[in-house]
Structure 1
Amino acid sequence: MATRPKNSEADTLELYRVALENAETQSEIATVMAELGYDSAKITEGKTLLTETRSAYDFNKTEDDESSAASAAFSDKKAELEKVFKLQRKKAKVIFRNDSLTADKLAISGEMPRTYIKWLEAAKKFYSVATTDTAIQTKLARLAITADSLTAANTLITELEAARAEYLKEVGESQDATKAKDAAFAKMDDWMSEFYAVARIGLEDNPQLLEALGKVVR
């Protein structure tokens, strides 16, 4: 298996690009490499692989960026709902501190759930009940929890679920793009490994030409 040069992927792509370009355009290198099977057609094969690898790399970067943006959007929406729910839940606990039946109905008995799913289910229960029970709304209004604010928070839940679905979708796409990029690099690395092995043989007596291919000769 070929070993990737200890560079970043972007550095590696540039190293390979320069090596193939010089192997084709530097006459002395081109002559030696052609004699060892790396003629114009063979170099074109390498360039085609490089184009495919570059495309996979760029696509992976795009998917990573989209995943990061979706993660930020999800986090922002979650923080927005957390702020509203935390305050309104505290107010509701005060209002219904002596009404355990309603407190249970609103799912506000006990501590706030910590895990995301349980927390979201608590919020959904609270707002689904509060937005449909006018008697509860009347009592909540005592501490400035309006019907409109309850509806707005309920809408936030829908938006949060959509944001999380989009985030998970983008994560999956990013992971797929990473696999495709890694596979492309593995194929490119293997091709270039043989290319460099042949170049070392052909240019053994011309180390300065080997350096034109990105290989430092000590």
Structure 2
Amino acid sequence: MTTRKNQSIDKRMFDAQLMINNSLSEPNILTALSQFGYDHNKLQEGKQLFEEVQALGDTQLVEYGSQRAATDDLKQTWTTARKAYIRTLKVARIAFDGNKEAETALLMRGRRKQTLGGWMEQATTFYTNLLNSANLTQQMRRYGYNTDKLAAEADLIWAVVKAHAAQQQSKGIARQATNRRNAKMTELEAWLSDFRAIVRIALEDCPTRLKQLGL
């Protein structure tokens, strides 16, 4: 049996809207509920909570849309930078073959890390140390890599770092939006729990009206 807690947010919101709006719009139902403290003003409290949850839900959708856009941007940026880095790394391994100092400084040994964090560490170290060494950049010139070309590729790497930071920020904002929506939904559910109990008491002799409220 499906409990309210296990129902989707959309289903719970639909049920809440039906119950609150029909209670407010149907005079006979409102009169019956008013005898138990749920008059127009009390029902407006529930409607206000509902609208707040709805607004927070809309905000959540926007923030998750921003997160997805940031993730797509990161993937595209990383793909472009990775292609340039791997190509230049292959050339550097030829240029500095046997140069242990360069191999260590540029982190050229071994496989490239598969995680984004590990990859960024290897790539940023490679370009930073390469560009900071006049001797190393001079040797790369022999293979068609001047300082401007290396700097342009380094910018691609830093674009990945920036895109990753933006994605993480978007992810955090989206998570906060979800938490705020969920907290307000919990508040609404608490209000609805008491309201449903009163509705069943106030309308226990009127099954048709209970059905109007989705009960």
Q: TM-score range by the shorter chain?
A: 0.7 to 0.9
In structure 2, the residue matched to 1:171 is: 171
What letter is aligned with 2:29? Answer: I
Aligned mates of 1:24, 1:102 — CA distance in 2: 77
In structure 2, the residue matched to 1:40 is: 40
* Long gaps (5+) in structure 1: none
| CA RMSD after TM alignment | 2.2
**Greater Cα offset, 54-63 or 100-109:** 100-109
Aligned mates of 2:65, 2:99 — CA distance in 1: 49
What letter is aligned with 1:172? Answer: G
In structure 2, the residue matched to 1:194 is: 194
Deviations 1:26-47 (A, max 9, x none): 1221221112221111111111
Instruction: Using the TM superposition, give the Cα deviation of residue 200 of structure 1 relative to its aligned residue in structure 2, in angstroms.
Output: 1.4
Residue 79 (structure 1) aligned with residue 79 (structure 2): yes
In structure 1, the residue matched to 2:22 is: 22
In structure 1, the residue matched to 2:62 is: 62
**Do the aligned residues in 2 keep the contact of 1:4 with 1:189 (CA within 8 Å)?**
no
> Structure 1 residues 146, 210: CA separation in 2 closer, same or farther (over 3 Å shift)?
farther
Secondary structure, aligned partner of 2:111: coil
* Long gaps (5+) in structure 2: none
Aligned mates of 1:35, 1:197 — CA distance in 2: 14
**Greater Cα offset, 121-130 or 14-23:** 121-130
In structure 1, the residue matched to 2:203 is: 203
Aligned mates of 2:46, 2:115 — CA distance in 1: 50
Aligned mates of 1:129, 1:138 — CA distance in 2: 13
User: What's the TM-score once normalised by structure 1's chain length?
Assistant: 0.86
Instruction: Using the TM superposition, give the Cα deviation of residue 185 of structure 1 relative to its aligned residue in structure 2, in angstroms.
Output: 0.5
**Do the aligned residues in 2 keep the contact of 1:100 with 1:109 (CA within 8 Å)?**
no
User: What's the TM-score once normalised by structure 2's chain length?
Assistant: 0.87
The number of aligned residues is: 213
**Do the aligned residues in 2 keep the contact of 1:70 with 1:163 (CA within 8 Å)?**
yes
